């Protein structure tokens, strides 16, 4: 590395790499079916030899917005991440919350990766550090062809065998009576001491969510995630007032402004920001502080590799969402330093300098998409 001062560092090249691969079988949540998985790796090269990596998705619109933004960061100082964020988030030119914020997030993650590598620290320690192991919950319970109650129970029993002390299942794609049978079956499989979360992925109207939540209370859910559409703040208030199950939401929320409004509803006990979507590390830490000031817990949505460092840095983060390979192929194999599970329901936070998104190019290369 050059011995020049840090103030002289600039980004000399910025590119993205897009990948997609088929799932072993399609899976469905309350509203959507997925036959493939995908990943975009953002690569920022600096003139001192450090390379920063971020991740996003190769979705139409997001790819094009990201390419435009990548052109704009070449020649910039990567340590001026607030200035770069402010320049790239331009509602007048690109929009306020959505694919443009997702594209920005992938770049912001790469900027913080450079910062942490320059300091020689894993991100969680650079941000202050709160814990060196983090609790996780295992996410699964998707609908898939031929998955009867026996297969569902075997799935969750396996998660508990892996060490999970909390698990999450999908609801909302079938009639409430049938979903109640599924919830009952999972509770029987995991026993009374493992926490059980329910996730509807916005599938219900508020009155349907109230019915499901009230009837599911007998199975002691720890939270009910995204019962209604993300902008239905009034629906969330009605659900929270009508049932004893705490609500969680936020995976479809963007920026500190969106989370300010979500928190202000008073309806949500746990917020679920996704650093890949809502604004990267820069916004995630501000949202975590907003939630902490409001007395709310935080549990990031999705992609354990993107969030393990952040959960370790934030005092009010209670769980890391963890996808097993059976649910999201290459969830760990795509990266060089994945978190490792412990039998007590925690994972070890990787200690390599950076955000932890350095890709395993050999694993990813067979799945590369055309530019």
Residues tagged active-site: 170, 301
Cα-based distances in Å from 42 to 1, 174, 191: 21, 38, 42
Number of H helices, E strands in the chain: 12, 13
DSSP string, 129-156: ---SEEEEEEE---B-TT--HHHHHHHH
How far apart are alpha carbons 249 and 229 in whole angstroms? Answer: 10
190-212 burial by CB neighbour count: b if 16+ within 10 A, else e?
beeebbbbbbbbbbbebebbbbb
Q: Which helix (H) or strand (E) holds 40?
A: strand 33-46
Query: Tokens 């604004």 appear where?
Result: 279
What value, to the nearest 5°, has the Cα angle with vertex 199 and ends 220 and 291?
90
């Amino acid at each position: 590395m050059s011995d020049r001062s840090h103030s002289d560092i600039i980004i000399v090249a910025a590119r993205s790499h897009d990948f997609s691969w088929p799932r072993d079988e399609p899976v469905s949540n309350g509203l959507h079916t997925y036959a493939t998985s995908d990943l975009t790796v953002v690569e920022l090269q600096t003139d001192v030899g450090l390379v920063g990596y971020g991740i996003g998705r190769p979705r139409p619109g997001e790819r094009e917005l990201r390419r435009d933004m990548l052109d704009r960061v070449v020649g910039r100082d990567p340590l001026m991440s607030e200035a770069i964020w402010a320049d790239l988030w331009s509602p007048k030119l690109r929009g306020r919350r959505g694919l443009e914020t997702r594209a920005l997030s992938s770049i912001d993650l790469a900027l913080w990766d450079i910062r942490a590598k320059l300091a020689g620290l894993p991100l969680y320690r650079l941000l202050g550090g709160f814990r060196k192991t983090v609790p996780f919950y295992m996410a699964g319970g998707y609908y898939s062809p031929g998955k009867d109650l026996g297969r569902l129970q075997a799935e969750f029993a396996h998660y508990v065998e892996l060490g999970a002390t909390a698990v999450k299942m999908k609801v909302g794609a079938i009639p409430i009576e049938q979903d109640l049978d599924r919830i009952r079956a999972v509770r029987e499989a995991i026993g009374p001491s493992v926490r059980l979360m329910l996730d509807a992925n916005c599938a219900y109207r508020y009155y349907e969510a109230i019915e499901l939540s009230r009837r599911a209370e007998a199975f002691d859910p720890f939270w009910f995630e995204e019962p209604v559409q993300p902008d239905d703040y009034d629906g969330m208030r009605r659900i929270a007032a009508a049932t004893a199950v705490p609500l969680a939401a936020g995976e479809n929320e963007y920026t500190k402004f969106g989370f300010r409004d979500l928190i202000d509803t008073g309806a949500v006990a746990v917020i679920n920001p996704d650093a890949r979507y809502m604004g990267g590390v820069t916004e995630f830490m501000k949202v975590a502080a907003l939630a902490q000031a409001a007395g709310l817990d935080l549990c990031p949505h999705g992609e354990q590799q993107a969030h393990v460092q952040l959960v370790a840095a934030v005092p009010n983060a209670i769980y890391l969402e963890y996808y097993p390979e059976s649910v999201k192929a290459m969830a760990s194999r795509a990266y060089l330093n994945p978190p490792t599970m412990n039998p007590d329901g925690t994972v070890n936070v990787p200690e390599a300098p950076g955000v932890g998104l350095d890709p395993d190019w050999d694993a990813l290369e067979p799945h590369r998409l055309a530019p």
